[in-house]
């Protein structure tokens, strides 16, 4: 009934070509140590590419492919040692009967223990340049800790300290080479790791690291450094799935004092390129690709599991997508060639829904496959609710899909549409006028202020031109079934992480600014949801003479780009300047997008004319300061 959002080895996006290229590169460089980046936004399909890569190496005895999820180990104190220990343990499990592997793994795990001990002891930094503390420093820690143990009155948790000292002394009684200095420690670890690969009789170790961009900066950088400093030896290949923008952000956060770059590349970019040698970037879906993807998703769901008709359809889609610029996007003729005529009703409907959604959904989600899936799942959930409530027969999915586009991407227009439909027996007259005018290729009749306003919007005109036309459709069942949105702080069904972001954005300036890293990770749809929740709280404030909670949060959200600034400007237009204090002037100052300058000026003119005395003075001061700067 619903679409699974987990990564998959079944390729509906023709991403198999990327996975095959990654596999080919690894096979054609059998000795060299390589790090390969599979880059793309969250939800772009990185995990699916990684799954396909893993699948390609299955069943090869001398090729071992391991999967490491960085996010799963987010809570561990020292990510370096976790990565190293996990990979060593996985190698040992892959060769359970080999005494040589067991012995080699034991030696390596001993060296990892040095790292863990140093981290627990404190005061011994595991730095980017080093990675392992010198034995002399550890001896100093052991001596100090043991001395503390002789004076129990000096410590509250003396038992824990004694235990630490015992562990440290045990390690220091190891072989003489454990006393080596820092460079030798790194060199010996890499040498012993190579010996472990030889003992395991491997031609190639492939380590796939997923979800690194979901980790905190400290964890992400530590994981990459562990790979670079310790694990990159001959015959190893690391395939890292991450949004490179988020990794660059992690570098900046982890090394805040990096100087400005004097060359063509920033220091953060240079650092990233040093750690990840070969980048593969997953492109966003284009218009034809989105339409094919929607058709395949819905057709796969509609047809019985294992139906050979879907396999034929998938093969036709892959052939069509070989040259996307020539794609027919699985038009009806292609579908009938594969499945015969007439088309199964579910497939015909999938094709129609793809036609309705493709253009606006491609633009609105920036071609993000996960966001496309989420939209379709929401549509099917609402359709299911309608059937459970007993009016499912009155819901047509193409109409529901079109209504949801307005709700999702132009909420102010959707509100107007809903108000008119409620007042006019479900059939907005103004919408019918607009649709008929656009179909006839004539300028819309200015029958109502709504029609005149809608005709000015390129988005509304594009939406209204999409079939099916809705002017003669009773929209009330569709409006009812979409009443599942809640704008309060706690109103995100299944999105607890967004609740936490909204709560912080509702705080004062310092608290709101602390949410910048989380806001930077939000996907476009999540940004819209968060903005809507915060904006609703601001608009519902009883007294707007003082700045309501959430204003500073809206300013933070506006920093994400023009779309958020457009939303902020629309909110500013709804404010009653006559009742407001100074703060709206601060709010609209966050709208810096040049294309919105004329509308910003109009809002400021209105406040300077009709606003409260306080707001008028604030606008005048803002403008005078702006003139001085220019």
Predicted confidence (pLDDT) per residue in 564-579, tens digit:
998 899 899 988 889 9
In a domain, 428, yes or no: no
Residue ending a domain, choose from 264, 283, 302? 283
pLDDT of residue 319: 86
Rg (CA), the chain: 30
**pLDDT (mean) for 508-530:** 84
Q: Which domain holds residue 505?
A: 501-629
Do 16 and 34 fall within a single domain?
yes
Q: Which of 271, 232, 238, 233 is nearest to 252 (CA)?
A: 271
Q: What's the CA dihedral at 191, 196, 198, 201 to 10 degrees?
A: -160
Check residue 68 and give its pLDDT: 86
Q: 120, 164 in Cβ contact below 8 A?
A: yes
Is 419 within the bounds of a domain? no
pLDDT in tens, 198-212: 999 989 999 999 888
Whether residue 24 is contained in a domain is answered as yes
My answer on whether 542 and 620 are in the same domain is yes
Q: Which segment of 62-66, 82-86, 270-274, 347-351 scores lowest on mean pLDDT?
A: 270-274
Of the candidates 84, 86, 91, 46, the one whose C-alpha atom is nearest the C-alpha of residue 65 is: 91
Q: In angstroms, rounded to a whole number, what is the distance separating the alpha carbons of residues 351 and 368?
A: 19
Same domain, 528 and 624: yes
Same domain, yes or no, for 524 and 618? Answer: yes
**Are residues 148 and 62 both part of a single domain?**
no
Whether residues 179 and 211 share a domain: the answer is no
Determine, yes or no, domain membership for 244: yes
pLDDT greater than 90 at residue 469: yes
| Residues above pLDDT 90, as percent of the chain | 20
Boundary residue ending a domain (262, 283, 304): 283
Give kind and range of the element (H or E) at residue 5: none
234-271 pLDDT, tens digit each: 899 999 998 877 787 777 777 776 666 555 556 677 77
End-to-end CA distance of the chain: 58
Which pLDDT belongs to residue 272? Answer: 75
Q: Is 297 contained in some domain?
A: no
Q: Both 90 and 105 in a single domain?
A: no
Q: In angstroms, rounded to a whole number, what is the distance separating the alpha carbons of residues 348 and 339?
A: 11
* pLDDT band, very low/low/confident/very high, at 431 (cuts 50, 70, 90): very high
Q: Cβ distance 421 to 427 under 8 Å?
A: yes
Say whether both 70 and 127 belong to one domain.
Answer: no
The full 3-state SS of 447-469, as one line of letters, equals CCHHHHHHHCCHHHHHHHHCCCC
Beta bridge partners of 237: 34, 206
Planar angle of CA 67, 69, 71, nearest 5 degrees = 180
CATH number of the domain bearing residue 46: 3.40.50.300
Encode pLDDT of 339-393 as tens digits. 888 888 888 888 999 999 999 988 888 888 888 888 898 898 888 888 888 998 9
Average pLDDT of every residue of the chain = 80
Asked whether residue 33 falls in the same domain as residue 104, the answer is no
Q: Domain boundary at 283, 318, 337, which?
A: 283
Q: What is the pLDDT of residue 125?
A: 38
Asked whether residue 31 falls in the same domain as residue 158, the answer is no
pLDDT at position 468 over 90? yes
Verify that 176 and 274 share a domain, yes or no.
Answer: no
Residue 621 lies in a domain: yes
Within-domain flag for 70:
yes
- For residue 49, which of 202, 204, 205, 209 has the smallest C-alpha distance? 209
pLDDT exceeding 70 applies to what percent of the chain? 80
* 85 neighbors 108 (Cβ within 8 angstroms): no
pLDDT band for position 172 (cuts 50, 70, 90): very low
Q: How many domains does the chain have?
A: 3
Same domain? For 529 and 566 the reply is yes
């Amino acid at each position: 009934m619903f679409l699974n959002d987990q990564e998959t080895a079944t390729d509906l996006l023709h991403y198999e070509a990327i996975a095959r290229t990654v596999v080919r590169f690894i096979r054609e460089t059998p000795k060299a140590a390589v790090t390969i980046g599979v880059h793309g936004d969250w939800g772009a399909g990185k995990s699916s590419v990684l799954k396909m890569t893993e699948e390609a190496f299955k069943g090869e005895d001398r090729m071992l492919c391991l999967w490491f999820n960085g996010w799963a180990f987010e809570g561990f104190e020292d990510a370096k040692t976790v990565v190293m220990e996990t990979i060593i343990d996985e190698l040992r499990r892959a060769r359970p009967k080999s005494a040589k592997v067991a012995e080699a793994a034991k030696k390596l795990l001993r060296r990892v223990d040095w790292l863990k001990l140093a981290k627990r002891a404190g005061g011994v930094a595991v730095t980017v340049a080093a990675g392992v503390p010198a034995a002399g420093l550890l001896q100093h820690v052991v001596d100090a800790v043991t001395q503390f143990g002789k004076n129990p009155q000096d410590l509250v948790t003396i038992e824990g300290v004694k235990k630490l000292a015992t562990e440290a002394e045990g390690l220091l009684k190891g072989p003489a080479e454990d006393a080596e200095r820092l460079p030798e420690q790194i060199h010996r670890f890499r040498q012993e790791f190579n010996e472990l690969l030889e003992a395991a009789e491997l031609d190639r170790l492939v380590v796939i690291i997923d979800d690194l961009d979901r980790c905190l900066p400290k964890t992400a950088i530590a994981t990459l450094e562990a790979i670079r400093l310790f694990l990159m030896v001959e015959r190893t290949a690391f395939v890292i799935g991450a949004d490179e923008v988020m990794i660059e952000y992690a570098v900046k956060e982890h090394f805040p004092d990096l100087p400005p770059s004097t060359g063509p590349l920033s220091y953060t970019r240079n650092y990233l390129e040093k750690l990840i040698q070969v980048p593969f970037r997953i492109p966003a879906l284009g218009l034809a690709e989105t339409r094919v993807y929607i058709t395949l998703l819905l057709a796969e769901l509609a047809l019985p599991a294992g139906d050979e008709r879907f396999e034929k359809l998938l093969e036709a889609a892959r052939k069509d997508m070989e040259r996307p610029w020539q794609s027919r996007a699985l038009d009806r003729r292609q579908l009938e060639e594969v499945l015969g005529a007439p088309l199964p009703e579910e497939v015909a409907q999938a094709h129609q829904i793809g036609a309705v959604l493709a253009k606006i959904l491609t633009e609105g989600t920036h071609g993000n496959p996960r966001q496309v899936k989420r939209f379709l799942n929401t549509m099917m959930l609402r359709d299911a609710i309608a059937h459970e409530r007993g009016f499912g027969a009155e819901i047509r999915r193409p109409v529901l899909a079109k209504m949801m586009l307005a709700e999702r991407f132009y909420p102010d227009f959707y509100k107007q549409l809903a108000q008119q439909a409620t007042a006019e027996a479900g059939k907005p007259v103004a919408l019918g006028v607009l649709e008929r005018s656009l179909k006839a290729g004539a300028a819309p009749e200015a029958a109502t202020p709504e029609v005149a306003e809608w005709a000015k919007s390129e988005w509304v005109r594009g939406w209204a031109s999409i079939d099916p036309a809705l002017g003669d459709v009773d929209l009330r069942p569709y409006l009812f079934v979409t009443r599942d949105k809640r704008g309060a702080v706690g109103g995100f069904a299944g999105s607890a992480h967004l609740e936490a972001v909204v709560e912080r954005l509702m705080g004062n300036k310092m608290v709101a600014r602390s949410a910048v890293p989380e806001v930077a990770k939000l996907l476009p749809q999540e940004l819209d949801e968060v903005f809507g929740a915060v904006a609703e709280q601001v608009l519902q404030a009883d007294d707007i003479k003082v700045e309501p909670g959430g204003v500073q949060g809206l300013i933070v959200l506006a920093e994400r780009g023009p779309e958020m600034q457009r939303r902020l400007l629309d909110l500013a237009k709804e404010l009653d300047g006559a009742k407001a204090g100074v703060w709206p002037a601060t709010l609209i100052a966050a709208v810096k997008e040049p294309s919105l300058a004329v509308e910003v000026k109009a809002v400021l003119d209105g406040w300077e004319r009709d606003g409260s005395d306080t707001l008028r003075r604030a606008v005048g001061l803002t403008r005078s300061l702006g003139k001085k700067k220019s």
